[in-house]
Amino acid sequence: MGKVRLLLGVVGIMSVSVSGAAQTPAPSNADKNNFAAAHVCECGAHPPGPPRDRLVTPYAGEPDDLRPWAKFAQPYDVNYVTPNIYAGAARDIPDPDPKTLSEIRIGFFAPIETNPEAVFGTRIMHGAQLAIEEANARGGYGGKPFKLMLQNDYDNWQRKQVSGDNRPTDSSIWGAASNATVKMVYDDQDWAIFGSISSESTHIALRVALRAEIPVITSASTDPTLPETTIPWFFTNLQDDRVQGLTLARHIFTELELKRVALLRINNRYGRFGVAKFRDAARRLGHPLVIEQKFLPGDSDFTQQLKVIQSSRSDAIVLWADQGPTASVLKQMRALGMKQRVFGAFRTLGPDMLAQAGPAAEGFEAVFPYDASRQDPRWLDFNTRFEARFNEKPEQFASLAYDAMNNLLDSICKAGLNRARIHDALANIEAYDGVTGHYIFDPNQKNVAPMYLGTVHNGAITYRIARMDKTPPAPQTSAAPTSPRSQFTSAGDERDCPLSTVNCPLSLPYALVSGERDCPLSPVNCPLSLPYARVNDDGVVYAGPHREDAPAGAINIILFGPHAADVAQSNEFREALASGVKDGREWKVLPIDSNQNWGAAATELVHDLMDEHALAIIGLDRNASHLSEQLALKTFVPVLAISDDKTLTSTNIPWIFRLPAQTTPARALRMIQSATEHSGANPEKLRDALASGDTFSGVAFMDTGEPRLP
- pLDDT value at 506 more than 70: no
Q: Give tens-digit pLDDT for 469-503.
A: 876 545 444 444 333 332 223 333 333 333 333 33
pLDDT at 470: 79
**Angstrom distance (rounded) from CA 318 to CA 282:** 12
Domains 16-50+85-159+169-239+375-447 and 241-368 share a fold: yes
Please say whether the beta carbons of 419 and 476 come within 8 A: no
**Angstrom distance (rounded) from CA 277 to CA 369:** 17
- Average pLDDT score over residue span 419-446: 96
Q: Give tens-digit pLDDT for 324-374.
A: 999 999 999 999 999 999 999 999 999 999 999 999 999 999 999 999 999
Q: Which of 701, 633, 599, 617 is nearest to 168 (CA)?
A: 599
Please say whether the beta carbons of 345 and 319 come within 8 A: yes
- Average pLDDT score over residue span 51-70: 83
pLDDT at 98: 84
pLDDT at 539: 58
Domain 16-50+85-159+169-239+375-447 bears CATH identifier 3.10.20.600 = no
**Average pLDDT, whole number, for the chain?**
82
C-beta neighbour count of 183 within 10 angstroms: 16
From its phi and psi, is residue 482 left (phi > 0), alpha (psi between -120 and 50) or beta? beta
pLDDT at 18: 41
Q: Where along the chain do its domains lie?
A: 16-50+85-159+169-239+375-447, 241-368, 481-534, 555-690
pLDDT at 653: 82
pLDDT at 170: 46
H or E, element range at 468: none
pLDDT at 157: 47
CATH fold of the domain at 241-368: Rossmann fold (3.40.50)
pLDDT at 473: 47
Q: Give tens-digit pLDDT for 270-328.
A: 999 889 999 999 999 999 999 999 999 999 999 999 999 999 999 999 999 999 999 99
pLDDT at 516: 33
CATH fold of the domain at 555-690: Rossmann fold (3.40.50)
Cis upstream peptide for 505 (omega within 30°): yes
> Partners of 657 in the beta sheet?
640
- pLDDT value at 55 more than 80: yes
pLDDT at 7: 32
- Average pLDDT score over residue span 667-671: 95
Provide the Cα torsion 193, 197, 201, 202; round to 10°.
50
> Partners of 148 in the beta sheet?
106
DSSP-derived secondary structure for 557-623: EEEEETTHHHHHTSHHHHHHHHHT-BTTB-EEEEEEETTS-HHHHHHHHHHHHHTS--SEEEE-SHH
